[in-house]
Structures are given as structure tokens and as C-alpha cells.
A and B are shown apart, each in its own frame.
Chain A
Amino acid sequence: DSGVTQTPKHLITATGQRVTLRCSPRSGDLSVYWYQQSLDQGLQFLIQYYNGEERAKGNILERFSAQQFPDLHSELNLSSLELGDSALYFCASSPYAGVDTQYFGPGTRLTVL
């Protein structure tokens, strides 16, 4: 158990819909990361927040947005969903803003029908 929690575990929705994925980091960690894992793209970095501020950004679609709240939990919002957004979405956390060991949650599996 990494100490990172993600909800829900599974999410099934339809094209065009909007969903919110939630992540609680390990106690004391200030950075939260979001990754997307799919068969064709592999494991892709989406975005990092550090202590409430955006710290680094990957190839995150404009339809996707994230935020980190004062209690340090984070949400990833996915809107206007397409079939290709079906993937496993991981949250990870670390203590600092820079490169360090990231502790991964169990993931949220999103299926878009």
C-alpha cells in the first residue's frame, strides 16, 4: 500500500460526458502527479501540482483540467469524453517539487462507451 488513494476504482460513462477523478496523496506529500496509461500511448505524464500550484505540464488535452485543493487532495476533470480517453489514470505523490520517488495510487480505470 503506497498511501495514495484514488476514487473511484472504475468508471463507465458515455461519449460527450464529464467525469471527475479524485486523488489523496500520502500524508506529508506536497506534489501530486497525474498519468494516463493506455495500450497505444503507454504511460504518459499529464500534469503536476505542488502545494496548490501547477508545477509542470505534459501533453494534457484542453478538455482535461486538474486542480489541487488546500488539503492537498487533487481532482482531474475530463470533459467531452471520447472513446480514445478510455484508459487507466494514475495519481502519484511525492514530498517535493523536483524529481524524486513518486508513490503511485492503484489507478482509476475509465471506460468510455
Chain B
Amino acid sequence: AQSVTQPDIHITVSEGASLELRCNYSYGATPYLFWYVQSPGQGLQLLLKYFSGDTLVQGIKGFEAEFKRSQSSFNLRKPSVHWSDAAEYFCAVGAGNQGGKLIFGQGTELSVKP
């Protein structure tokens, strides 16, 4: 069965510092991978996705992620964090053979220090 692990429940970074949020997945075939962001009281917004092709994908708000098949990882990065990036971040995997079902990780809460 597919699964997603986000090892870090909470991360605090200083404004302007770089950020990396970790995501590991378990899936036998090539996965469809997503990063979503949830601000307090809001729904989820897509940051970026990987289906195939270039393993380094660019997303909105200056985020990027790299798919590494050998490590079963899809880590999210941003070179310089802004205070408005404080939110909860979810990694998700789609199986491809179960409709559009997405399996989400437990989420990583990001705090930004001034």
C-alpha cells in the first residue's frame, strides 16, 4: 500500500534562511507526487507536482522540489523563506490505479522567526 512520511512535525526557520522539508513515499511504481500548503483556516493549495520528466520541479511562491527515485524522496526547498510562508505543508502521493485518490503525509508545520 502507498504511504507518505514527513519526518518533521514542526520546523522553525529564520526569515531569509533556506528551507528544506522532507518527504518519503512508499509506492511500487512511478508515483505521482504533490506538495500542498495549508494556511490557518484555509483549504489546501497546490505548490507543485511531479508526474514525469525533469526530476527538479518548480512551483509557486519560489518553491521547488526534487524527485529522487533511489531515495524514495520528494523534498521541498526554498532558498529564502518569507514570514508569509508560515503554514502547514503536506506531501501527497497518487497511486494512478485508484482513481484520483491522494495519500497525504502527516504534515510539517513551518514557523518563521523574524
Chain A interface (Cβ < 8 Å from any Cβ of B):
2, 4, 31, 33, 35, 42-45, 48, 50, 55-56, 58, 90, 92, 94, 96-107
Complex CA gap A94/B92 in Å reads 15
Closest to A46 in B: B101
User: A43-B107, A102-B100 given. 19 additional CB < 8 A pairs?
Assistant: A2-B43, A4-B43, A31-B100, A33-B102, A45-B101, A45-B103, A48-B99, A56-B101, A58-B101, A90-B44, A99-B95, A99-B96, A99-B99, A101-B46, A101-B49, A103-B46, A104-B43, A105-B43, A107-B43
**Majority secondary structure of chain B interface residues (helix, strand, loop or mixed):** strand
The docked-state distance in angstroms from the alpha carbon of A100 to that of B94 is 8
Which of A43, A97, A106, A107 has a CB less than 8 Å from the CB of B99? A97
Whole-angstrom CA separation of A104 from B20 in the bound complex: 24
- Residues on A with C-beta less than 8 A from B99 are 31, 48, 50, 55-56, 97-99
In whole angstroms, what is the CA distance A58 to B105 when docked? 15
B31-66 interface bits toward A, Cβ cutoff 8 Å, 1 = contact, 0 = none = 010101000011111100101000000000000000
> Could you say which of B46, B102, B105 has the most chain A C-beta atoms within 10 Å of its C-beta?
B102
Residues of B that sit less than 8 Å from A by CB: 32, 34, 36, 41-46, 49, 51, 90, 94-96, 98-107
CB neighbours (8 Å) of B95 from chain A are: 99
A101: chain B residues within 8 A (beta carbon): 34, 46, 49
17 contacts between A and B (CB under 8 A): A33-B102, A42-B105, A45-B104, A48-B99, A55-B100, A90-B43, A92-B44, A96-B100, A97-B99, A97-B100, A99-B51, A99-B102, A101-B34, A101-B49, A103-B46, A104-B36, A104-B43
Nearest CB of B to A10, in Å: 11
Chain B hits for A43, CB < 8 A: 90, 104, 107
User: Could you tell me the distance between the alpha carbons of A42 and B103 in the complex, rounded to whole angstroms?
Assistant: 10
Q: Which of B100, B103, B107 has the most CB of A within 10 A?
A: B100
Chain A positions within 8 Å of B42 at CB level: 106
Q: A7–B43 Cα gap in the complex (Å)?
A: 13
